[in-house]
Structure 1
Amino acid sequence: MTVTIQANEKRHYSPEEYLAREEAAEYKSEYRDGEIIPMTGGTTNHNQIAGNIYIALSIGLKGQNYRVFIGDVRLWIAKRRFYTYPDVMVISGQPKYFNDRKDTITNPQVIVEVLSKSTKAYDRSGKFDAYKTISSFQEYILIDQSQIQIEQYFKTANKRWSYREYDEEDPTLAFNSFELEVPISDIYEKVNFEEIEQEEEGGE
């Protein structure tokens, strides 16, 4: 008897195939140069923090030439052939839509990600590296959902980034891209750190 063993090869999808699947899918996925990566659901802490920072930015930048988007707006990173869904994005001026799709933009100035243990390494490394290839991208905010800790990266020159860290001793998060300070207490309002044991199951 002859037994044939077939290698389990990963299928590579075109961007068009990904978008078609995404429109029909029940859950969101990322696209990374041919590979489709399902995104797990976020925890209540994740959702609360993303909502808090979105509200703070929307109110703080009201009347100024900025747009703030949360969650469902997709980002296309041309140089890496990535589609992804940042938690919050701030755009200076008008959105630049990819292929005239009103659900996909290409020009964020500020990106905010809420960290979980399952994604924080990728958010700090591979995803940040991809974001750096976007010419409009100037500032990256990483918010821990398991403790009061925020990481801020802002561009100072070509291939030069500065870093600052915030914790419970800091009263506000000071953005570098525009004149806005957000109280740390507002970012973590209604976040319950006692629910962290469930955090491993979610996050984006």
Structure 2
Amino acid sequence: MVVAINPQHENGSSSLHGIPVTEEGFEQLISLEGPYRYEFIAGVMYDMTGSSPEHADISSNLEYLLKEQLGRSGPCRVYREQYVFIPGQPSVVPDVVVTCDVGDRDKEKRMRPFKIRSPLIAIEVLSPSTEAYDRVEKFARYQHSPTLEVYILVSQDEKHVEMYRRATGWVQERFQEDQMIELDQLDLELPLSSIYEGVL
């Protein structure tokens, strides 16, 4: 079994340390329940567990904003750091993800081991050592998910958010300072002031 991976992924001066593994080996490892969250990047597996306080606070703010607007009685659910299944691609772990497929939470219908099959919105909080992966390789994987409509990248160092929508051909939209992000899919509003509350 593959263990002891130390990415040091919140330290911009350190490089990621991973273990070469096949895609099949990666998927077998993540099928085992455990406290760690791994990513498969260019043939290497990395332990992505842990984050900076800023990263954690921004993720928490996003989760709270989404849950507050979506409620708990409808079909949509918000998850943090859960594996997402993508057809023909290695699984990924977004910082925050929204799914409105009841099959993703139904104990009888959901994937075993648990993976979200139908992501609608995926959000990544950028870290220095994984930003290139989030922007290129991971983004390319997400585009293979037939249900994903919105991909959001959030800076943890400044009030800056980028959004990409399938409906516009994944054209980049930028938001700064106290602008409002509006998501037509679920009639959601994400004020940057709330995303960064208590952080910047």
Relative to the length of structure 1, the TM-score reads 0.76
The partner residue of 1:183 within 191, 194, 199 is 191
CA contact (8 A) 1:142 1:150 kept: yes
Residue-by-residue CA offset, 1:33-68 (whole Å, 9 max, x unaligned): 864222152100000000001000001111543111
Cα deviation 1:114-145 (Å, max 9, x = unaligned): 01111111111110000000000110111100
Paired position in structure 2 for 1:14: 25
Q: Which residue of the partner structure matches residue 36 of structure 1?
A: 45
For this pair of structures, how many residues does the alignment match? Answer: 177
**Residue type matched to 2:33 in 1?**
E
Equivalent-residue separation in structure 2 for 1:28 and 1:110 (angstroms): 19
Q: Which runs of 5+ in 1 are unaligned?
A: 1-8, 193-204
The equivalent residue for 2:16 is none
Separation of aligned partners in 1, 2:130 and 2:56: 15
8 Å Cα contact 2:119/2:148 also seen in 1: yes
Amino acid paired to 2:52: T
Deviations 1:147-202 (A, max 9, x none): 00000111116xx22321000152x121232211122111001115xxxxxxxxxx
Contact 1:18-1:31 within 8 A present in 2 as well? no
Instruction: Give the SS at the match of 1:137.
Output: coil
Identity among equivalent positions (%) equals 29
Amino acid at match of 1:37: Y
- Is 1:125 the counterpart of 2:136? The answer is yes
Say if 1:154 and 1:176, in contact at 8 Å, map to a contact too.
no
The C-alpha deviation readout for 1:80-123, integer Å capped at 9, x for no partner, is 1x122111111123144897325212210100110111111111
Structure number with higher relative contact order (C-alpha < 8 Å, ≥ 6 residues apart)? 1
Q: Contact 1:69/1:88 (CA < 8 Å) preserved in 2?
A: yes
Which residue number corresponds to residue 5 of structure 2?
none
Structure showing greater Rg: 1
Aligned counterpart, 1:65? 75
Distance 1:191 1:133, change over 3 A: same
Letter in 2 for 1:101: R
CA 1:59–1:102 in 2, change beyond 3 Å: closer, same or farther? farther
| Other structure's SS at 1:100 match | coil
Distance 1:95-1:89 versus aligned 2 partners, 3 A rule = farther
Root-mean-square deviation (Å): 2.5
